[in-house]
Amino acid sequence: MTIAVYAGSFDPVTAGHLSVVRQAARLFSHVVIIVAVNPNKQYLLSTDERMGLLREAVRKHPNVTVAATEGLIVDYARDIGASVLLRGVRGATDAQFETELARNNRVLAPELSTLFLPAEAHLAEVSSSGLKERVARGEDVSAFCPPAVAAKLRERLAPSTRSLRP
């Protein structure tokens, strides 16, 4: 059984992330999506919210599970017997960053291979930060994320529709 780990902050999960998950679910026996928790980073959504949204989004894939860690992803991967680290790439800038990350992970855990999976072409520009910016401007993001994510973002970020009256 080949276990692959797909780690990220997923703040929030996007259609691009889910494109990578769909591909991985076809390629590997088990895919573990890891919500990375960095105590020095500011998140819009709590770890539990991010995990819940991911679980809902991947529930139709029986070989995909969701977990979280504050530790190094390579340590988590070793602990569960994974052999592959998955990374999604959207373009050249992502590829450069992800290649450097893969090199660092190779130094830390030479037994783990890193596999880059591009999201579908029409999702190449979708990012978590971009979703949040669009919602904050009042734009529709339903084409770029699951409905539950869009609703959660609107709840947190949508411009107020209340009028100010004296």
Q: Which residues are catalytic?
A: 17, 41, 90, 128
By C-alpha distance, which of 15, 89, 86, 84 is closest to 54?
15
Q: Is 10 annotated as a binding residue?
A: yes
Q: Is 163 annotated to bind ligand?
A: no
123: annotated binding-site residue?
Answer: yes
Q: Phi/psi at 35 (nearest 5 deg)?
A: -80, 110
128 is known to lie in a ligand binding site = yes
* Residue 122 annotated as lining a ligand binding site: no
| Backbone φ, ψ for residue 77 (5° rounding) | -60, -45
User: Does the annotation place 73 within a ligand binding site?
Assistant: yes
Distance CA 41, CA 58 (A): 25
Find out whether 111 is annotated in a ligand binding site. Answer: no
Residues in Cβ contact with 16 at an 8 Å cutoff, skipping those fewer than 6 apart: 88, 90, 119, 120, 123, 124, 126, 127, 144
Annotated binding site for ATP: 9-10, 17, 88-90, 98, 123-129
Annotated binding site: 9-10, 17, 41, 73, 87-90, 98, 123-129
Annotated binding site for substrate: 9, 41, 73, 87
